[in-house]
Amino acid sequence: MASSVVAAQTSGMKSSMTPDMGKLTATAGVIQVEGAGGGGLVPWATITGYGTRDSYGANVHYTYAGTQDYTLASYGVAVGIADRVELSVAKQRFTGSRAPLDNLRIDQDIYGIKVRLAGDIVYDQDTWMPQIAAGMMVKRNNGIGGLGAVNNVKMLGAKDDSGIDYYLAATKLFLGQSLLLNATVRATKANQMGILGFGGDKGDRYQAMLEGSAVYLLNRKWVVGAEYRMKPRNLAADNEKDYYDAFVAWFPSKNLSLTLAYVSLGDITVYNSRRQEGVYLSVQAGF
């Protein structure tokens, strides 16, 4: 592995690491709601951008998810280096639209890093070896607005207003069958991705959550898929449920992608205690 990294770095120095857009369309995935490359809800082992091992890629994204009672907006920047390392920064804003939480506003900052450990989703077609990557998301909740004296997630029962998610992802692309499968294991204390803090009155330990994606490539520009994401249950004030979605993504070029999905985020707080279902829309531009 070390020799391949050195070779990639040396080749990159010779080419001044100019963007080469060398990956196949759609194989970089889209940007996940926490800023990592992958699907909409689940990070994959893929490295964002279309740069190969001798290059780099970067993108900006904006994501909107709206349910009956809440809206989640996310925007940020992600960079893939030598098809080996991914760095990302994302900002989430969660707001309420229905009483008693119609004035609710919660912001969260997320800093991510992902490293490809083994495998290649394109070149390992003659083996069962998936691409494997390890990642980390450093999250900081910036407090609560619109709830009067309740201005911090700790006042809802969370143990902390910051935390770290760790994950291991395996992604396998079957080009002959136009099928991509991904499985991710995440160690987390986050409540609603960290929007409601970390840990709580019902539990304050890391738990292993399973996440998965299945994607079918209709052609070079259109894909459809579905995802599932387990969630912890740490807060008495939030009967948290697992997430899932069904999506279609369009890649008119390597510089642009649009994703539209039906998403279910389960219950979010006991104050608006009904299943939150709605629309997810994400726009990504980059190279």
Give the model's pLDDT for residue 16: 56
Q: Taking phi first (over 0 means left), then psi (-120 to 50 degrees means alpha), and beta for anything else, what does residue 269 get? A: left
10, pLDDT greater than 60: no
What pLDDT score was predicted for residue 34? 98
Its pTM stands at 0.91
Single-letter amino acid, residue 261: A
User: pLDDT by residue (tens digit) across 89-126?
Assistant: 999 999 998 888 899 999 999 999 999 999 999 999 99
CA 253, CA 118: separation in Å to the nearest integer?
28
Query: Which pLDDT band, with edges at 50, 70 and 90, does 13 fall under?
Result: very low
pLDDT single digits (tens) 245-273: 999 999 999 999 999 999 999 988 767 77
Judge whether 232 and 197 are in contact, CB under 8 Å. Answer: no
Distance CA 120, CA 125 (A): 9
- Residues 23 and 10: their CA atoms lie apart, in Å, by 20
How do residues 70-83 score in pLDDT, each as one tens digit? 999 999 999 999 99
Mean pLDDT of the region 143-159 = 94
Select from 235, 268, 70, 233 the least CA-distant residue to 154.
Answer: 235
> What Rg, from alpha-carbon coordinates, does the chain have?
19
SS (H, E, C) the chain: CHHHHHHHHHHHHHCCCCCCCCCCCCCCCEECCCCCEECCCCECCCCCCCCCCCCEEEEEEEEEEECCCEEEEEEEEEEEECCCEEEEEEEEEEEECCCCCCCCEEEEEEEEEEEEEECCCCCCCCCCCCEEEEEEEEEEEEEEECCCCCCCHHHHCCCECEEEEEEEEEEEEEHHHCEEEEEEEEEECECHHHCCCECECCECCCEEEEEEEEEEECCCCEEEEEEEECCCCCCCCCCCCCEEEEEEEEEEECCEEEEEEEEEEECCCCCCCCCEEEEEEEEEEEC
| Confidence check: pLDDT of 50 > 90 | yes
CA–CA dist 21, 37 (Å, integer) = 16
Whether the CA torsion 256, 248, 180, 283 is positive or negative: it is positive
Residue 131 has pLDDT above 80, yes or no: yes
* pLDDT, mean of residues 162-184: 98
